[in-house]
Amino acid sequence: MLCASCHADNALGLPGEPGVSNLSAAMHTAHAPRMGPAGNLTEVCYACHPGVRTQCQRDVHLANGMTCTQCHGNMVAVGNPAREPWVDEPRCGTCHARPGFEFEQPNTLYRDSVGHKNVHCYACHGSPHAITPTVTPLDNIQANYVQGHPGTIDTCTVCHSGGPPGGFFHKRDD
150 lies in the binding site for ligand HEC (CB under 6 A): no
Select from 61, 130, 134, 139 the one that contacts ligand HEC (CB under 6 A): 61
60 lies in the binding site for ligand HEC (CB under 6 A): yes
Nearest to 150 by CA among 118, 127, 124: 124
71 lies in the binding site for ligand HEC (CB under 6 A): yes
142 lies in the binding site for ligand HEC (CB under 6 A): no
Please state the separation of Cα 169 from the chain's center in Å: 23
Tell me whether residue 57 is exposed, middle or buried, using C-beta atoms within 10 angstroms of its C-beta: 0 to 12, 13 to 18, 19 or more: buried
Binding mask 155-174 for ligand HEC (x = CB under 6 A): -x-xxx---xxxxx-x----
Report the b/e string of 2-32 with b at 16+ CB within 10 A.
Answer: eebebbbbeeeebebeeeebbbbbbbbbebb
94 lies in the binding site for ligand HEC (CB under 6 A): yes
Q: Is the peptide bond before 50 cis (omega within 30 degrees of 0)?
A: no
Select from 64, 100, 162, 173 the one that contacts ligand HEC (CB under 6 A): 64
Closer CB to ligand HEC, 5 or 136, in the complex: 5
Nearest to 139 by CA among 58, 65, 68, 61: 58
Select from 37, 98, 145, 162 the one that contacts ligand HEC (CB under 6 A): 98
* Minimum gap (Å) between residue 34 Cβ and ligand HEC: 8
51 lies in the binding site for ligand HEC (CB under 6 A): no
58 lies in the binding site for ligand HEC (CB under 6 A): no
